[in-house]
C-alpha cells in the first residue's frame, strides 16, 4: 500500500502535466526481457540500457547502487529502480521494508525538451502555478549535467514531500526527457538529511562522460579501424579501410545477429570534430539500422563514425563469401 500511496501522491502532484504538455510519439527502445543485468564497463549502460537517446553521464550515486525492476525487465518506459541490490529486492516484496532512500527513473511521457536548455512552455507555466499555490513548500532549480539540461522540483502533497527531476536527452526531433524520483521510507521523520543527500548528490555530482566513453555511451565504441555499434540493443561491427592506390574507402558491416539489418545509404570521409582525437581522419556511414524482433520491428536512421585504416589492399573481398555487407566509395586523397 505504501508504494501505491507514493505513486498516487506523485501522480496527483503532476496530474495536470498530461493535459498541458505535448504528448510525444513512442520512442523505439528495445529492452530484451531476458537481459535483466547487462554487463558493461560503463556504469550508465548498466543502469539505463538500450536507450536510443542515451544519457552519457557518470551518475553521482553510491557505488553499490544497481538497476532493478519489479518485473525483472529494465524497460525505460516503466520505472527502473536504482539502489543496493538487497534493498531493492526487499522493497519490491514489501515497500514498507524500505529503510534507506533509493531512486527511480523512466522516460517521461509528458515533459518535452524544446531547446538546448529549455523545456516546454506549458510545463514551466504549470510549475509557476504550483509555486504560487505553495510558495514555501515548492522549490525548483535548473542545472546541467554537461550538455544535458536538468530541471528539479520539490513539492508537497498531503504533507509528503515529492522530489522529481527531468533531464533533457538532447533529441531535437521528439524532445525526449528522463524523469527521476527520490523514493524514501514512508515513515515519521522522513525525508531525513541522508534521504536528501542522495537526491542532492544525484543533482550536483553527476557529470557528463568525456572522450571515448562519451561516444561509447552514445552507442558507438570507436576503435582504430572499426566501431562497435549498439542502437537500442541492435549490435553491429563496422570496419573501415582506405586503399592507398586510389583513395577508395571500403566499409564492412557485420551484424551481431540475424535479426539485425543495415541498409546502406552513403559514406563520407571527414575529420573528427570533437576535442577527443580532433582532426583524426574518419568516415561517416549513413544508413538505417533495422531490428527484427519477434514482437517488434524497429527502424532507425543512423550515422556511424569510424576511424579508418589506410592499407595497400582491403582485408575483406567482396567475393570472400563471408556473411557481411561490403560497401565502397572512391574518395579524393586527403593530406
Tens-digit pLDDT profile for residues 106-135: 999 899 999 999 999 999 999 999 888 888
Of 304, 318, 323, 313, nearest to 238 by C-alpha is: 304
Q: Please, which residues have CB within 8 angstroms of residue 310's CB and are 6 or more apart in sequence?
A: 241, 242, 243, 244
SS3 labels along 198-222: HHHHHHHHCEECCHHHHHHHCCEEE
Cell output for 94: 514489501
Phi, psi of 167, deg, nearest 5? -120, 120
Cα gap 266→327, rounded to integer Å? 9
Q: What is the pLDDT of residue 197?
A: 97
Give me the pLDDT at residue 321, please: 55
pLDDT, one tens digit per residue, over 200-216 is 999 999 999 999 999 99
Angle 9-181-45 (CA atoms, 0-180°, nearest 5)? 150
Sheet holding 66-68, edge to edge: 66-68, 80-83, 102-107, 177-183, 160-168, 148-157, 139-145
Question: Which pLDDT value is given to residue 300?
Answer: 87
Determine the pLDDT at residue 158: 76
CA distances from 294 to 26, 30, 278, 323 (A): 19, 12, 41, 22
pLDDT in tens, 27-43: 434 333 333 333 457 99
Amino acid at each position: 500500500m505504501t508504494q501505491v500511496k507514493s505513486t498516487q501522491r506523485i501522480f496527483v502532484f503532476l496530474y495536470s502535466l498530461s493535459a498541458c504538455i505535448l504528448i510525444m510519439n513512442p520512442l523505439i527502445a528495445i529492452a530484451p526481457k531476458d537481459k535483466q543485468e547487462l554487463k558493461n564497463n560503463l556504469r550508465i549502460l548498466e543502469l539505463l540500457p538500450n536507450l536510443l537517446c542515451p544519457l552519457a553521464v557518470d551518475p553521482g550515486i553510491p557505488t553499490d547502487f544497481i538497476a532493478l525492476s519489479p518485473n525483472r525487465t529494465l524497460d525505460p518506459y516503466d520505472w527502473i529502480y536504482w539502489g543496493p541490490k538487497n534493498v531493492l529486492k526487499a522493497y519490491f516484496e514489501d515497500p514498507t521494508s524500505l529503510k534507506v532512500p533509493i531512486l527511480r527513473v523512466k522516460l517521461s511521457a509528458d515533459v518535452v525538451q524544446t531547446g538546448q536548455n529549455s523545456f516546454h512552455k506549458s510545463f514551466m507555466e504549470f510549475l509557476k502555478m504550483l509555486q504560487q499555490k505553495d510558495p514555501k513548500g515548492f522549490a525548483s532549480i535548473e542545472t546541467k549535467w554537461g550538455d544535458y539540461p536538468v530541471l528539479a522540483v520539490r513539492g508537497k502533497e498531503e504533507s509528503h514531500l515529492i522530489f522529481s527531476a527531468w533531464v533533457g536527452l538532447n533529441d531535437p526531433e521528439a524532445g525526449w526527457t528522463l524523469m527521476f524520483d527520490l523514493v524514501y521510507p514512508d515513515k515519521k521523520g522522513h525525508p531525513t538529511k541522508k534521504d536528501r543527500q542522495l537526491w542532492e548528490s544525484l543533482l550536483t555530482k553527476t557529470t557528463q562522460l568525456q572522450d571515448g566513453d562519451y561516444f561509447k555511451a552514445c552507442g558507438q565504441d570507436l576503435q582504430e579501424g572499426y566501431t562497435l555499434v549498439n542502437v537500442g540493443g541492435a549490435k553491429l561491427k563496422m570496419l573501415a579501410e582506405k586503399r592507398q592506390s586510389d583513395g577508395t574507402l571500403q566499409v564492412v558491416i557485420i551484424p551481431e545477429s540475424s535479426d539485425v539489418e543495415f541498409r546502406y545509404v552513403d559514406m563520407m570521409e571527414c575529420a573528427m570534430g570533437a576535442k577527443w582525437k580532433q582532426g583524426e581522419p574518419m568516415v561517416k556511414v549513413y544508413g538505417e539500422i533495422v531490428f527484427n524482433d519477434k514482437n517488434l520491428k524497429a527502424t532507425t536512421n543512423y550515422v556511424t563514425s569510424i576511424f579508418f585504416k589506410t592499407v595497400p589492399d582491403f582485408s575483406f573481398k567482396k567475393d570472400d563469401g563471408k556473411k557481411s555487407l561490403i560497401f565502397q566509395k572512391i574518395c579524393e586523397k586527403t593530406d
